[in-house]
Amino acid sequence: MSDHLLRTFISVTVPKEILSLQEMLKTTVDFKGKNLKWVKSGQIHLTLKFIGFTPPDAVDEMNGILSEVVKRHAWMELIVTGTGCFPVPKRPRVLWLGMAGGINKLNNFVSDINVSLEKLGFPIEEKEFIQLGAMTLHKNKTFKPHQHIWKPGEEQVIAQESWVVIKGSVKCSFHDTDGTLLAEPILEVGDCSVTLGGGHTYLILEDDTLVYEYKTGPYKGQKNDKVFLDEI
């Protein structure tokens, strides 16, 4: 099988100027005494779409389509904003890079790739979109009480969220759909909250509190994502 098929994926190579990313990631984890195997610098890349084992002639046809896709998009600049790991530095399972800059341009580019290659029989992955972020927050930081929007029958993902406290502590305020306060638990290291409906807000209780936020998406702007409780 492997003699006739090519393991195929679409990616963007990382410029030599930022191959120091691996060194950044090494400072994120506590790997003392552990025999960790790191990817060679020349193999670092940003995967845009995984294809799988593919016949060589299909790869040639794919290259032709991708050349046309590239012509339809302008250059974009992505900025690495930080690094992190899950669940904790002493037991890392996933390393991640935070990125900013031309994210919308990148999303449009990937969408064009998916739509264009679907014509060749490569299906668009139908996975639920998960937003993931790490936030370092200062004491007394709070958020305007809000609830996320869900309109039954419309093609829209429920934008609910979960917070995991990695460092520090957080006071949560959970509200009913009409704004009635239901509970105000304190989250400490290792605790998490899962918001399935209704309103919520958070108050940071310690400086340099670190939380991981998991959220369904995709994010389509504030007016499509949330409504503030004082506006209900």
pLDDT given at position 73: 93
pLDDT given at position 1: 40
**Neighbouring residues of 71: CB distance < 8 A, sequence distance ≥ 6:** none
> pLDDT digits over 49-99, tens only?
888 888 888 888 999 999 999 999 998 888 887 777 776 777 777 777 777
Give the span between the Cα atoms of 225 and 177, in whole angstroms.
Answer: 15
Q: Do 16 and 41 form a contact (C-beta atoms < 8 A)?
A: no
Question: Residue 231 above 90 pLDDT?
Answer: no
Inter-axis angle of helices 103-118 and 56-71, nearest 10: 140
pLDDT given at position 42: 73
Phi-psi category of residue 137: left, alpha or beta, with phi > 0 → left and psi -120 to 50 → alpha = beta
pLDDT given at position 154: 46
In this structure, what DSSP letter does residue 203 have?
E
Amino acid found at 207 = D
Question: Residue 222 above 70 pLDDT?
Answer: no
pTM given for the model: 0.55
Give the span between the Cα atoms of 176 and 82, in whole angstroms.
Answer: 36
Range in 83-97, 146-160, 208-222 with the lowest mean pLDDT: 146-160
Q: Which residue in the block uniquely carries the two structure tokens 């120091």?
A: 20
Give the span between the Cα atoms of 212 and 167, in whole angstroms.
Answer: 10
Please give the residue that has the higher pLDDT: either 164 or 104.
Answer: 164
pLDDT given at position 89: 76
Write out the two tokens for 35: 């025999």
Give the span between the Cα atoms of 131 and 215, in whole angstroms.
Answer: 5
> pLDDT digits over 166-192, tens only?
999 999 999 987 888 999 999 999 899
User: How would you classify the pairing of strands 199-204 and 91-101?
Assistant: unpaired
Domains present along the chain, CATH in parentheses? 6-118 (3.90.1140.10), 130-231 (2.60.120.10)
Q: Which residue in the block uniquely carries the two structure tokens 């304190």?
A: 186
Structural Rg of the chain based on CA atoms: 21
**Neighbouring residues of 187: CB distance < 8 A, sequence distance ≥ 6:** 163, 165, 169, 170, 171, 172, 193
